[in-house]
Structure 1
């Protein structure tokens, strides 16, 4: 038994009680981190309140020691606040779900319990001693698991005294009648397995009491065996439980499929090959809800996923739901697929196994639409992004393809993140009379532009130049094409008469390229074509213009003349000598005295000097 510090990290126990017994209460729990997010937690009474703590502690030890696929899986146990806590796989008591189960599901469940008891009797050499409905639990996938191992003991330790001490807490109807005649002693019982044989007979009778045998062969016959043989008052006449495995009741085709999938590691390659090649046809004969509930987890187990024959034939039908258009012949319809398969797939995406991940990615496009947008964003996408950082190039390549399938659902911003901008434009050319989409060609398939042709007419004064259509400039793809009449109105594309006269002054040389090809009329010498820039309306040179036009703004041109400077000498004769004085110097003229110049203001200054 673990101490208080050994409990599951991040465990949150629901306060709601699922089951209440004399020894403990059953709760549901959630683990924030780990491979088992949902667990069941058994909590005992406070220490010192009786023998309940000892009972749950003994059950935890036996579950930890005896492991089998048909026995409730032990996860952890610890002591906290004076109470014993036992965590197991998620399961519900059989009594809470038995009313909703079909006879076939009950048949499969009884087969699972029977295999667990055979394991305890023949392999572990133990006796359960309390086989009843309260000792059976049902997992979310519908599998029955045997629990209630608090009264389990070795066959050699089973004595009348041990049975008498535990009888008060055991299921009374499952107690065989011979216990009443046993004397309290330490002697071993001669037929120790007979107690479980009797208890299993009672269990079968109770769970099949109101069920019909419409779809299960030999149902009533099996019930009679359980009543008359397993519940026989003489222990020695009760048949061994292992012999019941071969009964017609447990050899149903569906049970055979279930057993084969459970025991798949023990089968040979030839047996696996034959099994998977015929499995799809057999599964289609059963209700898809039953197949999904009972076999969904087994069909997606590691052993099935890694089998080469299953990968080739079966998995494409299991991993993809049925399509309404008949594109994918899936095994399950979309509602059933989302209810049973999608939760399993979400768990599988957390498995860091390269082969499992590659298999999931190979079929990702067929089932990615079955997830909700929240599941894709919070659960699937983070796990896919982990695959990009792996060193396995095949895994990275498959991950990138899967991310491409997420973009239509989540958007590129959510998948690749970061800042994005429109860096590409649609450069497809538009035809004048056809829709763009109907005439689109790849860039390397576009035909070469037609060569320009220069045609000289019979009239020596007229010259016609045929030019190819100028391609539309960038950003002009959305312009509405003009009609033929509007195109003819653009005379700027044609060469003027003066340009034609200039072009006809000399002979043209031999054309050196398709663009230089010139067709010349009879009896007329044509000179070399000008550069294409001269023919462009935007870049036409001045030589192609007509005679100089009259400038209406000629008289408005400003006239800027040089400033005339008048030079005056000291004699007033108008000498042309330029004075060297500064423009701010005082100019003294003849006939003026110093006192006259300054006026009366100097008198004040004289008085000041005199006084000083």
Structure 2
């Protein structure tokens, strides 16, 4: 009467199957399932207890017991089980039958010998464990007894007919005639015919090898035909299926033979797997070398193996093994095989944690490989957890990190908040362009600003772009001046007609007589394009709204940016290399050597000849071509890199490849003119006139700065010890000295600063984002800062003069 209250153990079992059986394997039916309440996948082997089948039920229960008690990496992993009145359940890790796996991989053309070699290695290792360590005979080795997990690892199952090598009689009855073809000719009973205890299982291993390469075994006599068995495996296979059972090798010896020189199991894939199995006991240096070499091998490894075997080991090595930056390259390579959801779950938490690391090698490799994971980062994650750590790179004493930090802004800009992009980032850009001593860094800051300008809000663009590109055109380094010109051309739609006439052309026209030919060429093209814009509006004033329609346009969101012009989209999708070429052109574009003398302005004008004269009025077709050429120029050119800078000391770097980038810049403290809205029309006109005149007068002085700026020694980024394995205090000192200005160019820096002050430029590190003192207008604040700067320079000169002492009569002063 209590049966009404009894509970069904199957319904309470914490696992459930989904759908019908995938395969029937002797007594068992294989189902795929999951743990209830979760999505964790499992495999469920089900045996239905039938009446009058006591012998088979005992065999099934014996298999249940064996699988539950045996634990080995190469034997099917037992998770849970259920012994009910009408059925037996065995829950294991998610697996599929080897026969199904081989058919699927072969149909897709993805089955490789190295994958098969590792699978056979695992099965032989499991047999060695059973025979040599446990004294057990498997008695059922065939394709139906082998399963494959998600990582492609082969697992030995089918323990139904297992027995002890000594003392267990009679042998379990199989009851399936189709299994008779796997029995050796001498029979299965150990000791019969002077056999070894492993002889029968090694015969069956030979049958398994034949089936792996040739398909299902029709009869025992088919073993005589080698079929597709590889030549390197043939001698070992013949030993397994030999008629003499005494010749069949022990599983351990079989592995040793196959791992010999030119053996079937002697390959890089097996060596990688064996190292991963023992990685926890390896020395730190061995682990470092392994991860360094791993990246180049991943392309030849199966995808599932990389996702489910390599990736967990990489994550574990980072979390507990202090692997450092060496895991980044293989980690991101494996990440390409993951879905977006898997990437968010497994890779992104590691990336976020890595950005907070103080390890320079890790930081620079993260920045270099940002394009591989940027699409998986949400805006909230970037602004709250990534950007605060990335901006520290702008202040790093290592110039290569500062360089990569600037370049990474192309990828981060679409995801930055208004405050981080328009305020915080612009402050760092202003300081870098004004005071960073490395040429490529200051030049790339100008490039990056132009490429992310579409993401800036309208007020920031109006306040910053003209000032920033104007400063770049005054830089003593020729590629930077070219970058400033191209910046104007690429952002031409953000300038009003008045800005083009009163500000931009006054900056571009002096560059048409620049000593560098490339700068002159770009300046002429830019001048023609802006004049064409002015002429278009002059001839038809009704076109003014169309010409100025983008001036107050809102900043682009990431989706809109991809649909924008090609140069703007490049900032999001086109950063394929973060170290690239130097400037293309003739050696004249390089800064002059210390021993060279700069030509006076008049001599330079005479030398330029017709190039310095005003060009003929361009035709409409030529204007369009110039505009298109400038846009293409901005799109196609790559970054400069510290790795390309000559480290020859006093000798100038030779321009080789790109149009913008190389080393040897001077330091210019000026940045931005005052906005016209802060002064009246008359004051604005006088400022523009004064600016143009002062620029022409100070041009010859600025050329001196260009020559002196090239004297700084720059160490190649490739020479740095990024991994930190042999770091020394000497290297740290070298990093620090790169951020100090050269003493030989101190007078030139002072001259440059005086010229900037005379030209009416603000000498602070920021643009108009510099915090103003309360109660002072912007013009008063600029005037006050210029006066303070002049006083500082005069004080320094007085100190140097006092240190030299009075001059004696008859003694000539040598500068």
Provide TM-score, normalisation by structure 2.
0.40
Cα distance 1:295–1:50, how it changes in 2: closer, same or farther (>3 A)?
A: farther
Match of 1:133 in 2: 143
Find 2:343's aligned residue among 376, 390, 395: 376
- The one-character-per-residue Cα deviations of 1:12-59 (angstroms, maximum 9, x if unpaired) are 53324221134221123345899x954332111146573455433321
Match of 1:315 in 2: 291
Q: What secondary structure sits across from 1:56 in the alignment?
A: helix
Match of 1:25 in 2: 29
The reply to whether residue 57 of structure 1 matches residue 61 of structure 2 is: yes
Match of 1:251 in 2: 260
- The one-character-per-residue Cα deviations of 1:576-595 (angstroms, maximum 9, x if unpaired) are xxxxxxxxxxxxxxxxxxxx
Superposition pairs of residues 150-165 of structure 1, within 5 angstroms: 150-159=160-169, 161-163=170-172, 165=173
Q: What secondary structure sits across from 2:347 in the alignment?
A: helix
The reply to whether residue 359 of structure 1 matches residue 323 of structure 2 is: yes
Q: What secondary structure sits across from 1:363 in the alignment?
A: helix
The reply to whether residue 241 of structure 1 matches residue 241 of structure 2 is: no
Q: Distance in 2 between matches of 1:109 and 1:433?
A: 62
Q: Distance in 2 between matches of 1:408 and 1:228?
A: 59
User: How far has the Cα of 1:8 moved from its partner?
Assistant: 8.4
Match of 2:126 in 1: 116
User: How far has the Cα of 1:415 moved from its partner?
Assistant: 1.6
User: How far has the Cα of 1:191 moved from its partner?
Assistant: 5.4
Find 1:39's aligned residue among 42, 47, 54: 42
Q: What secondary structure sits across from 1:409 in the alignment?
A: helix
Name which structure has the greater RCO, CA cutoff 8 Å, separation 6+. 2
User: How far has the Cα of 1:368 moved from its partner?
Assistant: 3.0
Find 2:473's aligned residue among 434, 440, 449: 434
Q: What secondary structure sits across from 1:40 in the alignment?
A: strand
Provide TM-score, normalisation by structure 1.
0.51
Cα distance 1:381–1:113, how it changes in 2: closer, same or farther (>3 A)?
A: closer
The reply to whether residue 147 of structure 1 matches residue 157 of structure 2 is: yes
CA contact (8 A) 2:344 2:376 kept: yes
Match of 1:332 in 2: 298
Q: Distance in 2 between matches of 1:433 and 1:139?
A: 59
- The one-character-per-residue Cα deviations of 1:319-375 (angstroms, maximum 9, x if unpaired) are x3xxxxxxxxx2233x9675542444554576597334x426553266437435444
Match of 2:689 in 1: 487
Q: Distance in 1 between matches of 2:21 and 2:167?
A: 35
Match of 2:182 in 1: 174
- The one-character-per-residue Cα deviations of 1:528-555 (angstroms, maximum 9, x if unpaired) are xxxxx9xx899xxxxxxxxxxxxxxxxx
Range moving further from structure 2, 125-134 or 105-114: 105-114
Match of 1:199 in 2: 204
Q: What secondary structure sits across from 2:689 in the alignment?
A: helix
Q: What secondary structure sits across from 1:156 in the alignment?
A: coil
Match of 1:217 in 2: 232
Q: Distance in 2 between matches of 1:446 and 1:6?
A: 78
CA contact (8 A) 2:202 2:251 kept: no
Question: Can you give the 5+ residue segments of structure 2 that lack an aligned partner in the other structure?
Answer: 1-7, 214-222, 385-416, 434-466, 485-662, 693-753, 755-775, 782-815
Q: What secondary structure sits across from 2:292 in the alignment?
A: helix
CA contact (8 A) 1:156 1:188 kept: no
Q: What secondary structure sits across from 1:314 in the alignment?
A: helix
User: How far has the Cα of 1:376 moved from its partner?
Assistant: 3.1
Match of 1:78 in 2: 82
The reply to whether residue 13 of structure 1 matches residue 44 of structure 2 is: no
Cα distance 1:114–1:314, how it changes in 2: closer, same or farther (>3 A)?
A: closer
Q: Distance in 1 between matches of 2:265 and 2:691?
A: 87
Greater gyration radius: 1
The reply to whether residue 92 of structure 1 matches residue 96 of structure 2 is: yes
